[in-house]
Amino acid sequence: MTNVADFKWSKDMKLNKFTSSLGKIGFQSTEIMNASNTIVKMKTEGAKIFLSFTSNMVTSGLRGFFAQLIDLKIANIIITTVGGIEEDIMKAKGEDFPIGSFFSDDKALYERGHNRVGNLIIKNESYEKFEDMIDPMLEKLYAKKKRYTVSELLYELGLQLNDKNSILYQASKHNVPIFCPAITDGAFGFHLYSFSLKHKDFIVDVVGDFSRLLSASSYDEKKGLIALGGGVSKHHAILGTLINGGLDYAIYMTTANYTSGSMSGATTQEAKSWGKIKDDADAVTVIGDVSVFFPLAMCGALEELSERGVIEIKK
């Protein structure tokens, strides 16, 4: 058993030493350290790493970090929601999202055509520009073939982007599949519907994509999950590994409460009752804001992995 130790700052403190020192503070600081250590174990022990996140995280500045993690070969499979796809494309095409306030006058924002996501703003004109750009992109796909699984569709869209900070771009470049089970749950869904009215033989195959997810990992290989937030992206990642024996490593980060009985609030311990996570798995639940805790845990892990020579940090 480790005793509490007073935290002290030093000007030459490295990130991996910082996250290690968090482990002796207690409370959620300890869980951040545990999450960082588990990421290191996942990578060094050759696990296939699933990374799931909700669209609000792509609205934020984490979007470029996710793209970097794909480039560094940390994330092998991505599961997200459709807003993250839309906003990744918007940003790749030059759209900016202002930082506002949690206490904005929302009526005034509506009248200006500004949509609030927490303290971030997405303008209506960004969606209008998305509409203008997505139809020609879909036309290029349609000219190649008429039927796509969702992950195939997203791979082809990523090939049409040229932004190193884009999740879709990096995923296509490194052949990392992106799964988005609720592909119609957003503006993109309306555009797919509109496109299908003009092209009756254009099919987006959601069930075929589930088959691709199930075959993305095997029973024999080690599997790890970093689930940021909850909902369908988290559950789809877990479901994709359940049939293959469950997860060997799992990190959940959420602000949701476990007493709600929701997928978003469900802990790694609860998941063991379903066989989603193996009994002897390295499993950590971190309660807190992903925009703060995930960079802390991951950057500490990246520095440790770099020092061990497991990954090469690009300049």
Active-site residues: which are they? Answer: 276
CA–CA gap between residue 41 and residue 224 (Å, rounded): 10
Q: If we measure between CA atoms, which residue out of 214, 184, 252 comes closest to residue 35?
A: 252
Rg of the chain over Cα atoms, rounded to whole angstroms, equals 20
CA–CA gap between residue 163 and residue 165 (Å, rounded): 5
* 61, burial (CB in 10 Å: exposed 0-12, middle 13-18, buried 19+): middle
User: Torsion angle, CA of 162/64/303/271, rounded to 10 degrees?
Assistant: -120
Q: Give the 3-state secondary structure of residue 175.
A: coil
DSSP 111: H
Tokens (6 digits) for 69? 């993690």
Q: If we measure between CA atoms, which residue out of 120, 58, 57 comes closest to residue 92?
A: 58
CA–CA gap between residue 56 and residue 67 (Å, rounded): 15
Q: Give long-range contacts, CB 8 A cutoff, 24+ apart: 265-274.
A: 265/230, 266/230, 271/238, 271/247, 274/242
CA–CA gap between residue 278 and residue 249 (Å, rounded): 8
> Beta 120-123 vs 114-117: how paired, if at all?
antiparallel
